[in-house]
Amino acid sequence: MNDLDPLVASGLDALPIQAAILNDSGVIRYTNRAWQEFGAANDFTGNPDTIGVNYLAVCDESDDPDAATAADGLRCILDGDEATFSFEYPCHSPDEQRWFMMRAAAFDHEGERYVFVFHLNITDRVLAEHAADARADRLEDLAALLSHDLRNPLAVALGYAEMLAADLPDDDRLDRVQRSLDRMEELIDDALVLARREDEVEVEPLELSREVRDAWAQVPTKSATLSVVDDLVFDANASLTAHLFENLFRNAVEHGGEDVAVRVGATADGFYVEDDGPGFASEVRADAFETGVSTAHEGTGLGLAIVAAVAEAHGWSVRATESEAGGARIEVGNVSVADESGSRS
């Protein structure tokens, strides 16, 4: 194989990956600058460009099982059994944990068989995956705590509060205790929705008007009013959808006041919930669906985060904007909606 064209060599030297070209025997014929710098930085014995070194022999001499995997993959390519090969492996140094992905592909040049090999540092991605797994484990622990260790004593407390209220019907203090315990139960339900987010959910055809009115009946709405101006049938998980509407209605009452007017209707690809309250402040709107964001005095900042979690579980989009009355409007899009013929869009 002739020397590489200077332009091609310069381009390969500019890549942030360790790249090499091997002949059909596994001997290294070319390495780029990153390959050479990596060898020098990691105390490779000999010339760090490794030109003339048999890559397969080095792998065979190693007692590292990843080296054996690399050698087996390269031989499959050289033998014509596979066109490409790829695998990920750890390559830790004394100072840091590192992971790489090796990829290889065969090509022919002037009647000879060669393999292009490169190693890409994927440490950031792997560490992010590890962190995500750790967060998922913590959420599972939180869900177990909420669903068992907290729910059980809360149920006992609610039961005794109800018995005391029956014996002392005129005691306002017990009423306040019951309201506080009911609020704790709502918060546990909401936190469980966030903690148990699933990648895939079971869906069924739901009628917007029915889901809206059922959810409205579950929320303390005081003097607020509800109007459903459009109806549609859409595919969703009934339990998660109930959480979505309940939190939207609770959010409207908490922020819009006791006599807020709430409207629900259809859009081209989903539905909306809007009110005639004060709406979103411009500095809050962009972060409205983040956990902990709330402008209400007693708000937890979980309501719209749960709406976003439910939307994400279904593959829906969700957007906070302004209603025609100047209040808050939440639009849920990318929903699987049935048309008059029953087909889904």
Give the domain ranges of the chain: 6-121, 125-196, 200-345
Ranking 21-35, 142-156, 170-184 by mean pLDDT, the lowest is: 142-156
Per-residue pLDDT, 295: 46
User: If you count DSSP H runs as helices and E runs as strands, how many of each does the chain have, helices first?
Assistant: 11, 13
Q: List all residues 6 or more positions away from 307 whose beta carbon is below 8 Å from its beta carbon.
A: 244, 247, 248, 289, 318, 330
pLDDT tier, 300 (very low <50, low <70, confident <90, very high otherwise): very low
Q: Are 293 and 233 in contact (CB under 8 A)?
A: no
Question: Pairing state of beta strands 317-322 and 337-338?
Answer: unpaired
Angle 172-195/303-314 helices, nearest 10 degrees?
Answer: 30
pTM over 0.75: no
Residue 216, pLDDT > 80, answer yes
Hey, what CATH class is 200-345 in? alpha beta
Per-residue pLDDT, 69: 95
Chain segment 233-265, per-residue pLDDT in tens: 999 988 889 989 999 999 899 889 889 999 999
Residue 12, pLDDT > 50, answer yes
Task: Determine the average pLDDT of the residues in 80-91.
Answer: 93
Question: Pairing state of beta strands 337-338 and 28-31?
Answer: unpaired
Per-residue pLDDT, 115: 95
Q: Looking at the domain 125-196, which fold is it?
A: Helix Hairpins (1.10.287)
- Indicate the CATH number of 6-121 among 3.30.70.20, 3.30.450.20, 3.40.50.1820, 2.40.40.20: 3.30.450.20
Cβ neighbours, 10 Å, residue 243 = 22
Closest C-alpha among 264, 201, 209, 263 to residue 234: 209
Q: Where are the beta strands (DSSP E) in the chain?
A: 18-23, 28-31, 84-90, 99-109, 112-121, 204-207, 225-228, 233-236, 261-267, 270-275, 317-322, 328-333, 337-338
- Which is higher by pLDDT, 111 or 47? 111
Q: Are 262 and 241 in contact (CB under 8 A)?
A: no
Q: Give the amino acid at 289.
A: F
Per-residue pLDDT, 142: 67
Same fold, 6-121 and 125-196: no
Per-residue pLDDT, 297: 42
Closest C-alpha among 59, 52, 5, 45 to residue 31: 52
Burial of 30 (0-12, 13-18, 19+ CB in 10 A): buried
In DSSP notation, 152-167 reads HHHHHHHHHHHHHHHH
Q: What is the mean pLDDT of the chain?
A: 85
